[in-house]
Structure 1
């Protein structure tokens, strides 16, 4: 999951739109606590220890900063190149299909060869590409959807294969990315427990399949095992959940409100909750 700001701080929308069950343009809320399925969706606000809640969120924020600023954090990302069938040359020269401007690379360091939905690196001698600290000549690459991806290195660059909606691409990190070096943290709204609700989980039998458009504009299928329901100001609201992996022990919720893109993250708000028993 991408790193996104947890939704239990901040300002909730005061003019929310009702949830449309057929879409993921979800309504408003800032935090949900799942309750047993037999419990009514009354929007009951549980007793919350404000100090404990603030401490928990501060811990989460610190961990988020640690992740973002790590060698594998989002602040190191510098490029994403989708591969075409056949050879995809890469290097410093602008004549390459993938231009990676780093002094550690040769003008043309080699090619990523895409064939039959598999990617093989064919590096030129002296191209400046290594794997596990050793120079690389030719190597079959594992994509991130197949397990731990094969990570190649050149100077401060790290690159590896990702798969999204059936498309294969090269994602590039730069450990010296200025966004990482110059990062000064985030500004937050004050922590509030006003939007912490008990909610009822309503399972779907069978699970539903939802279409989600990712940040790259690609449509992907997602499995929704059910929805959480709660009431606010006398109205019932419904949020679809997503199970990202069959082995997961938590559900993912995506929603937006009228602050999205102005006071909060433009893509909406993201929340994880434990799997209901």
Structure 2
């Protein structure tokens, strides 16, 4: 009898020890999960807004390399040295001097704008490598171009708000929101001024500011990713994982994290991982992941492969 009583008591004690979280704990976890879900939904809405705006990445229609120096005529006509797919037959004359300064002389009678203001004669065009690039607008403001610099070469990046990639865009597919892919990470700074060589999708190598690494644990695995600072004082992470080329875009996905506070901690939330511009257009120069950022884990969070645009 005593033995039976002891066994029953032991079973009851074990059952008590194995009880799940309290109602209060469950309510707290549910509230945190809903808060995170709302945050991700808001982020997705803002992301779509940036992507689909008239001069967003979906509006790209051309990237035209310019000569190292000299003169090239720009326009959509066949006689132009730099022929655009959109715009007037003759838009103007671009001159590049030995110091890589770029000048635009508008064609007579063509309506152009410079940074939103009517063009007035010969104008210097600032490339994106030297600050905020000068925007040359045409087609009643529906189209534009800027000068970009990649790998020491200059090119015109052309946009058209009526591009098929924008007007036929049908949205983005996502992995389910999963809070387990939100990690608290430790930031380890590098020496000031350090750079890392990043290869872009065109095969060009460009040094980029490399302020440090972020380290986090996913289950029993630990990952350390090299971060880039593009000048906006955010940690820019370019990564690939086991889903790359399968469920997600093959080349890379992008993700931002904030610089850490005094405790050296930041948050890496892969639910905010997104496709680079080159996933949507051939006219971009996306950075590729450095070897350190190729993760041996399936990150089933964030954006999936982009949808194909149907005619």
TM range (shorter): 0.7 to 0.9
SS in 1 for 2:190: strand
Give runs of aligned pairs for residues 79-158 of structure 1, distance below 5 A: 79-84=62-67, 85-102=69-86, 104-106=87-89, 108-115=90-97, 116-131=99-114, 132=116, 134-155=118-139, 156-158=142-144
SS in 1 for 2:179: coil
- Which stretch has the larger CA shift, 81-90 or 205-214? 205-214
Deviation of 1:227 (Å): 1.6
- Whether 1:260 and 2:244 are equivalent positions in the alignment is yes
SS in 1 for 2:169: coil
Give runs of aligned pairs for residues 186-225 of structure 1, distance below 5 A: 186-205=172-191, 208-225=194-211
Residue from 128, 144, 150 that aligns with 1:164: 150
Q: Provide the rounded CA distance (Å) in 2 between the counterparts of 1:141 and 1:151.
A: 8
**Larger helix proportion, structure 1 or 2?**
2
Deviation of 1:152 (Å): 1.5
Scaled by the length of structure 1, the TM-score of the pair is 0.74
Q: Provide the rounded CA distance (Å) in 2 between the counterparts of 1:154 and 1:119.
A: 18
Q: Provide the rounded CA distance (Å) in 2 between the counterparts of 1:196 and 1:275.
A: 16
List alignment gaps of at least 5 residues for structure 2.
Answer: 1-28, 262-311
SS in 1 for 2:154: strand
- Which stretch has the larger CA shift, 120-129 or 262-271? 120-129
Deviation of 1:97 (Å): 1.9
SS in 1 for 2:58: helix
- Whether 1:242 and 2:228 are equivalent positions in the alignment is yes
- Whether the aligned pair in 2 keeps the contact of 1:200 and 1:230 (CA below 8 Å) is yes
Scaled by the length of structure 2, the TM-score of the pair is 0.67
Question: CA 1:141–1:204 in structure 2 vs 1: closer, same or farther (change >3 Å)?
Answer: closer
Higher relative contact order (CA 8 A, sep 6+): 1
CA RMSD of aligned residues (A): 2.1
- Whether the aligned pair in 2 keeps the contact of 1:105 and 1:128 (CA below 8 Å) is no
User: What count of residue pairs does the alignment treat as equivalent?
Assistant: 227
- Whether the aligned pair in 2 keeps the contact of 1:208 and 1:223 (CA below 8 Å) is yes
Deviation of 1:184 (Å): 1.4
SS in 1 for 2:129: helix
- Whether 1:173 and 2:159 are equivalent positions in the alignment is yes
Q: Provide the rounded CA distance (Å) in 2 between the counterparts of 1:189 and 1:198.
A: 20
Cα deviations across residues 10-48 of structure 1 (Å, max 9, x unaligned)? xxxxxxxxxxxxxxxxxxxxxxxxxxxxxxxxxxxxx78
Q: Provide the rounded CA distance (Å) in 1 between the counterparts of 2:47 and 2:171.
A: 10
SS in 2 for 1:49: helix
Deviation of 1:133 (Å): 5.0
Q: Provide the rounded CA distance (Å) in 1 between the counterparts of 2:119 and 2:36.
A: 49
SS in 1 for 2:178: coil
SS in 2 for 1:56: helix
Q: Which has the larger radius of gyration?
A: 2
Deviation of 1:224 (Å): 2.1
Deviation of 1:243 (Å): 2.2
Residue from 34, 55, 74 that aligns with 1:72: 55
Q: Provide the rounded CA distance (Å) in 2 between the counterparts of 1:203 and 1:101.
A: 45
- Whether the aligned pair in 2 keeps the contact of 1:105 and 1:129 (CA below 8 Å) is no
